[in-house]
Structure 1
Amino acid sequence: MATVNIAGKDVEVDEEGYLTNLADWNEDVAAYLAQEEKVEMTESHWEVVNFLREYYNEYQIAPAIRVLTKAIAKKLGPDKGNNKYLYELFPYGPAKQACKIAGLPKPTGCI
């Protein structure tokens, strides 16, 4: 496991950069991970990240892209619950990239 220093705190990440301890997550960690992913966080990005964290707390699983789009459409509306919108925010894979920034495990089924 690798360790990165974020805002003066050592945080363990796996070989792909996902947090190994979900309790290490906070907004500083998210900002660091977003910078590593070359994502400039906006209110829309935070909305998806916070949605993912709520989803994970409820279901104890990081959703794959199909589940993610359906769940976001149900909660935030069809304008936001579609692949085009989510890929504009997270171009390297909305489920994979957004889950990493949210401090969640890599979704099952993501390569």
Structure 2
Amino acid sequence: MNKDIKKKWNTEYAKKIAKIEGIKMNKNHWKIINFTRNFYIQFKIIPSIRILLTAINQNWKHKIDSLTLINLFSTNPILKISKISGIPYPKKCI
């Protein structure tokens, strides 16, 4: 894993990218962004939507689905989540 992932990313960076993507961040957005970053740092893989949802639903009391991600991040949520969280983009985004 590239150790720079922890150094270069910060919340100001995330806010700028979110604004460019037309996303007004709230606590639900931040929970998903932080979860995704931690997932990537821990497992060294870029999660697909299916993997991300499975991991979230195994760890959170409140369950979410793909429609929730679409409502929060608009079209192509995993790409936007990757951009905002400062992790590499998945090779295949649906």
Asked which structure has the greater RCO (Cα within 8 Å, sep 6+), the reply is: 2
Match of 1:79 in 2: 63
Gaps of 5+ in 1: 1-20
> Cα 1:57–1:88, aligned 2, differ >3 Å: closer, same or farther?
same
Give, in whole Å, the separation in 2 of the partners of 1:78 and 1:43. Answer: 14
Q: Which has the higher strand share?
A: 1
Output the TM-score relative to the length of structure 2: 0.86
Equivalent AA in structure 2 for residue 58 of structure 1: Q
Match of 2:91 in 1: 108
Give the conservation status (yes or no) of the 8 Å contact 1:64–1:108: no
Equivalent AA in structure 1 for residue 89 of structure 2: K
Out of 47, 54, 58, the residue aligned to residue 63 of structure 1 is 47
**Which entry has the higher C-alpha Rg, 1 or 2?**
1
RMSD: 1.5
Aligned pairs (5 A) from 1:93-104: 93-104=76-87
Moved over 3 A (4+): none
Output the TM-score relative to the length of structure 1: 0.74
1:2-28, Cα deviation, whole Å (9 max, x unpaired): xxxxxxxxxxxxxxxxxxx53311000
Shift of 1:77: 4.0
Match of 2:32 in 1: 48
